[in-house]
């Protein structure tokens, strides 16, 4: 599976330093066997991270920058890869319903492993997956990946 990881809140005007969530997702995807690509339009799935729900506008802006928005509001055109949002911002998932296909609420290790091993539909069925339009309880995953090199320092 080809996956593109984008940190929506990384500065576009300064030297780019992706946040911890994006670095962790890349690491977890790599060890799960995903093929990481830079172009989201060549990916099977786009994994986006954002640091805060207060910076929600960074998500539609990142979609526009990636060529995945069909309107100034950030709505996506048909036929583009699904977008998974993670990071601290995903703890308030409803505000992203217009922009993403699913939010991974809480830690993402099981979500990432399921995504790569069993596919997108299986990952969106996990208890910590917020899917716009679904009416079910979403339970944040709290199993922090203390053993992951991006977070050990």
Determine the pLDDT at residue 69: 76
- Tokens describing residue 145: 């990946």
Q: Give per-residue pLDDT as tens, 123-143.
A: 999 999 999 999 999 998 877
Q: Give per-residue pLDDT as tens, 73-118.
A: 666 667 789 999 999 999 999 999 999 999 999 989 999 999 999 9
Side-chain-side CA neighbours of residue 64 (13 Å): 10
The Cα 44–Cα 76 span in angstroms is 15
In this structure, are residues 131 and 101 in contact, taking their beta carbons and an 8 Å threshold?
yes
Q: Residue 146: which pLDDT band, with cuts at 50, 70 and 90?
A: low
pTM attached to this predicted model: 0.89
Average pLDDT over residues 37-47: 94
Determine the pLDDT at residue 70: 62
């Amino acid at each position: 599976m080809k996956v593109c990881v984008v940190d929506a809140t990384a500065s576009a005007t300064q030297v780019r330093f992706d946040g911890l969530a994006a670095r962790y997702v890349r690491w977890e995807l790599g060890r799960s066997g995903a093929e990481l690509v830079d172009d989201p339009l060549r990916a099977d799935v786009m994994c986006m991270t954002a640091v805060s729900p207060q910076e929600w506008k960074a998500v539609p802006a990142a979609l526009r920058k990636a060529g995945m928005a069909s309107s100034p509001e950030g709505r996506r055109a048909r036929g583009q890869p699904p977008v998974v949002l993670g990071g601290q911002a995903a703890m308030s998932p409803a505000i992203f319903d217009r922009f993403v296909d699913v939010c991974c609420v809480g830690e993402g290790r099981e979500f990432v492993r399921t995504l790569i091993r069993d596919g997108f539909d299986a990952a969106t069925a996990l208890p910590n997956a917020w899917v716009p339009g679904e009416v079910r309880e979403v339970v944040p995953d709290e199993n922090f990946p203390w053993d992951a090199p991006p977070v050990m320092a």
